[in-house]
Structure 1
């Protein structure tokens, strides 16, 4: 019984620190919820044309009969998919525009080389 009382008396300060840290974390996370607001602020008028065109096509497809296979394939071959077309295709990551990036395998290999000291 003395051992339990000893362990309990040693954990009281730690328990207080954990509770204090948790309360501080909750306060800070509620007081400063969006540090990202200082980042790039998009213009509400930006890309409205593309969105309206995509919405128009979506509404058109929704009101009409289900499209046939040939029509879906023809529209899909124009861009990303039937409705979106090639909207923002230049912003997407693909092998042709991400040649400078490293793959996950390369990153893991580099990390393992650093840890083991082998090069």
Structure 2
């Protein structure tokens, strides 16, 4: 059987491109930029580490797309080497509500400690550290 090695990118459908780009750049420190894929269109993406999140504006999604692209339908977990108390202070300074955490969870490779927040579309975002880094 063939095997997969990593996730290259995922797509978020968003209600307001500027608001989303600002949030992910200022709150989570992602790099936001435009790119031009093979079809010649201009699109937005968020980059962090070796990962990328492509952004589609609701009602103007690019094909092919999910069967039911909807703002606010994602639940994403991001890993960080920064201690969660630093993240908590950062979120507090920005007026971002921590919905839950720090709370112990299980990540893809082992125990993590997580904080939960929401982005402008109400996607659930989990910011996590390896439990021994908490």
Q: Compute the TM-score of the two structures, normalised by the length of structure 2.
A: 0.17
Question: Would you tell me which structure has more helix in proportion to its own residues?
Answer: 1
Question: Would you tell me which structure has more strand in proportion to its own residues?
Answer: 2
Q: Compute the TM-score of the two structures, normalised by the length of structure 1.
A: 0.19
Q: Which has the higher contact order (CA 8 A, sep 6+)?
A: 2
Q: Which has the larger radius of gyration?
A: 1
